């Protein structure tokens, strides 16, 4: 599969998973967290899916389309490890949905990141909430859920918080 085809498949899976989770997230209180703003496309989709919800965004350095930059009071800037820790102190375990799409092209680096990323996200996740991740994360109280119809296995990872 070409890198372009892989990117398209990942974006389709991301969108399909977010759309699939909408009813479950609508039924829960709490903010939505977007870990990794990038160019802002997913943040924009989250705003459309969940109008009126608080959406907090984490980004090392903002380089998004100007229409897709969150308000300053909903933006945690800096390295994810540090900003997630700060957010946990400010927000606590309140998030109804956390979407993370962090990573590099280096599998070993992504696995190493997953060791601290899962626990960091867990400190922000409300019981009964959801995690949607582009990589497998191992956290004891999370239960992996099956992919929505049409999403290939292991393309995206859905977790329900116990």
pTM, two decimals, is: 0.95
Determine the Cα–Cα distance for residues 45 and 53; give it in Å rounded to an integer: 13
Q: Provide the pLDDT for residue 102.
A: 85
Q: Which residues contact 127 (CB under 8 A, 6 or more apart)?
A: 93, 161, 162
Residue 65 · residue 100 · CB < 8 Å:
no
Domains with residue ranges and CATH for the chain: 3-161 (3.40.50.150)
Determine the Cα–Cα distance for residues 133 and 125; give it in Å rounded to an integer: 13
Determine the Cα–Cα distance for residues 20 and 147; give it in Å rounded to an integer: 9
For the record, the structure tokens of 63 come out as 């380089």
Mean pLDDT of the chain: 94
Q: Provide the pLDDT for residue 15.
A: 97
Q: How does residue 27 score in pLDDT terms, banded at 50, 70 and 90? A: very high
pLDDT in tens, 83-124: 999 999 999 999 999 999 887 777 788 888 888 999 999 999
End-to-end CA distance of the chain: 36
110 by DSSP, 3-state: which?
helix
Q: Provide the pLDDT for residue 105.
A: 73
CB neighbour burial string for 130-148, b if at least 16 within 10 angstroms, e if fewer: bbbbbbebebeebeebebe
């Amino acid at each position: 599969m070409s890198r372009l085809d892989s990117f398209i498949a990942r974006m389709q899976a991301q969108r399909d998973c977010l759309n699939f989770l909408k009813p479950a997230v609508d039924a829960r209180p709490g903010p939505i967290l977007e870990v990794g703003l990038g160019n802002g496309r997913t943040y924009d989709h989250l705003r459309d899916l969940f109008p009126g919800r608080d959406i907090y965004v984490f980004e090392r350095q903002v380089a998004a389309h100007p229409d897709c930059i969150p308000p300053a009071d909903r933006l945690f800037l800096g390295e994810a490890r540090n900003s997630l820790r700060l957010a946990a102190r400010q927000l606590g375990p309140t998030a109804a949905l956390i979407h993370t799409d962090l990573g590099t092209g280096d599998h070993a680096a992504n696995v190493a990141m997953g060791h601290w990323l899962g626990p960091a996200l867990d400190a922000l996740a409300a019981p009964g909430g959801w995690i949607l991740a582009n990589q497998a994360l191992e956290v004891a109280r999370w239960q992996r859920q099956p992919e929505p119809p049409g999403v290939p296995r292991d393309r995206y990872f859905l977790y329900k918080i116990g």
